[in-house]
Amino acid sequence: MTLFSANLGFLWTELALPDAIRAAKAAGFDAVEFHWPYDVDPANVRAALLETGLPVLGLNTRRGDVPAGENGLAALPGREKEARSAIDEALAYARAVGAGAVHVMAGRTEGEAARQTFLDNLRYACAEAGHDRIILIEPLNPWDAPGYFLNRTEQAAEIITEIAAPNLRLMFDCYHVGRTEGDVVARLRALWPLIGHIQFASVPDRGAPDHGSLDYAPIFAEIVALGWARPLGAEYKVAGATEDSLAWLHALRGR
């Protein structure tokens, strides 16, 4: 049976985060994950997680100055102090709520200096995470995240291989891969040893996974066949009430 995690950065955004966790439980999700939960007291989040019994899979580092267009800090030369402060903050919050992974966001930049900055900051993140947390990196497509440093799975694989830290893994988002690289199943198979988390949404509109150019039933079946037993992240944009978008959940769960 396929398990699913509700990404509360997109689902139930009208609710306070503890209530969104409760809504995810009521809807039948097996886990939750966050984007940027830092304005919410982690004690309140932890209480909702304990109440529902849901695990929290991960969260993101802060993006920086969002009104100015920033989308992460870790690859920005000269911003190392801020990037590492964001990594420290994310790891502390992850420990407080029991999240198993932190997605370190690269930011909008390019060039060799940016690459070296990203590598250095990822080495720092992996060392600070220790043995009990995974560090994730995620390629983002250029339509949703123009100018984002990390934009292809091949680039991410090279970085993971070069750093060679046991707790550095790939966040494989079927939506982003589907937008930029086409054959999602082929990329899953090729990158399988590097993958630490999997997310999904419809292509091309990033809606619920019951429409669009990707047929998720065979994709999820392939993921299970490859041996994946952890929840897959539902990170899709909702038009209207989240509850009205969930027809796919039981249809694709495999029961």
Active site residue 138: yes
Residue 253: what pLDDT? 75
pTM, entire model:
0.97
pLDDT one-digit tens code per residue, 95-143: 999 999 999 999 999 999 999 999 999 999 999 999 999 999 999 999 9
Structural domain harbouring 153? 4-253
What CATH number does residue 73 fall under?
3.20.20.150
**Which entry of 51, 82, 128, 138 is annotated as an active-site residue?**
138
30, HSE (Cβ side, Cα atoms, 13 Å):
13
Cα gap 206→10, rounded to integer Å: 11
Question: Domain count of the chain?
Answer: 1
**Which entry of 14, 51, 222, 235 is annotated as an active-site residue?**
235
User: Which among 49, 48, 39 is positioned nearest to 93, based on CA atoms?
Assistant: 39
pLDDT one-digit tens code per residue, 23-72: 999 999 999 999 999 999 999 999 999 999 999 999 999 999 999 999 99
Active site residue 162: no
